[in-house]
Structure 1
Amino acid sequence: MTMTLPRLALCACVALFAQGAIAQEQSTNRVAADTDWSVFQETDPTECFAVSAPKSSENTRDGQPVDVTRGETLLFVFFRPSEGVNGQVTFTGGYPFADNSTVTLDVGGTQFTMFTEGEWAWPASPEEDARIAAALQSGSEAVLTGQSGRGTVTRDTFSLLGFTSAVDQAKTRCTS
């Protein structure tokens, strides 16, 4: 399975989260912010997405906490009308995942499997995207657990405060 993400959207998110609140106010493609989630819209090609950074992250190796350097860690829901993408859930862990590994997404005790390639993870099908999105809408937090190529286990906790509104706005902006 191969997933492509437009470079412009990824760069915008990385820049946004790397530069903090000042960049959030100055971003030209950020169109809405609802508590812990933001909405972005690109025009060429048309793409909209809701995105959030984790509220907390734990990194362990052999069961012991470790300090690691990671890139941006973000949870997305994408809409790309030209590609028929309607609510694709994706996660970037900020490091290359272990080969042939999966990421576990847990929402209120309901677990989902996301497949990995490089630094990205996503569900197996659009139907699974829809099931995950429904769980995220009814939950209060999402916990994503993955393993790096170096054997570090990461556990990232995302708040879902504002998730439903942000996804609804992203979807509306890319279907109107």
Structure 2
Amino acid sequence: MTSRIARGLCIAALSLTATGAAVAQESTNRVAANTDWSVFVEGDPQECWSVSKPKQTVNTKDGRSVAVRRGDILLFVSYRSGNGTGEVSFTGGYPFADGSTVTLSIGETEFQLFTDGEWAWSASPEDDTKIVNAMKGGANAVLVGNSSRGTRTEDTFSLMGFTAAVEDAGKRCE
């Protein structure tokens, strides 16, 4: 992921989570909201993304629920101007365990995302396309990861508004 997109994603994360919905509504690069998903546009060359926060988060260690401090937890599909393939990414709000993967489940379909620091991505543009198509047909996406401290996290994202948001983001960066 380029530093420009990473910066843009961080701006979106801060806009969505700094002090709640009021900040997200005032963000200068938020261009649309579709139920549980928002669309952001930034830069030259233009970058566009759809993003959502989880509806439910469960943190466990050794099979027991635990309270943990996490940063921004966000699921993205990002586009660059001239590249029609959306890139799926996830930030769990903590450093993932070295060499671990994040499991992304949509209904009965599972995908593996590779991790680097606090971020996870699919392995290829072909996988991105499969994930986006599954998300368009799903009700929610569940992401399960493991932190470098041994905490298992399970984050559930609503997919209400996903199709409208991802198609909007894609069109804005054609």
The code of the aligned residue for 1:31 comes to V
Aligned to 2:61: 61
Seen in structure 2, the aligned counterparts of structure 1 residues 132 and 11 have a Cα distance that, compared at 3 Å, is same
- Secondary structure at the aligned position of 2:18 is classed as helix
Distance 2:6 2:90 in 1: 14
Distance 1:29 1:173 in 2: 12
Distance 2:147 2:9 in 1: 24
Distance 1:174 1:81 in 2: 4
Aligned to 2:28: 28
Unaligned stretches of 5+ in structure 2? none
List per-residue Cα deviations over 1:118-163 (Å, max 9, x = no partner).
Answer: 0000110000000000000000000000000000000000000000
- Secondary structure at the aligned position of 1:6 is classed as helix
List per-residue Cα deviations over 1:30-61 (Å, max 9, x = no partner).
Answer: 00000000000002331000000000000000
CA-based RMSD of the aligned residues comes to 1.2
Aligned to 1:116: 115
Q: TM-score under structure 1 normalisation?
A: 0.94
1:9/1:42 contact within 8 Å kept: no
Give 4+ residue runs of structure 1 displaced > 6 Å after superposition: none
Distance 2:106 2:8 in 1: 30
Seen in structure 2, the aligned counterparts of structure 1 residues 78 and 97 have a Cα distance that, compared at 3 Å, is same
Identity of aligned residues (%): 58
- Secondary structure at the aligned position of 1:19 is classed as coil
Size of the alignment, in residue pairs? 172
Distance 1:166 1:93 in 2: 21
Q: TM-score under structure 2 normalisation?
A: 0.95
Aligned to 2:135: 136
Unaligned stretches of 5+ in structure 1? none
Structure 1 residue 85, shift from structure 2 partner: 6.5
Aligned positions of 1:1-176 closer than 5 A: 3-4=1-2, 5-81=5-81, 84=83, 86-175=85-174
Distance 1:63 1:85 in 2: 42
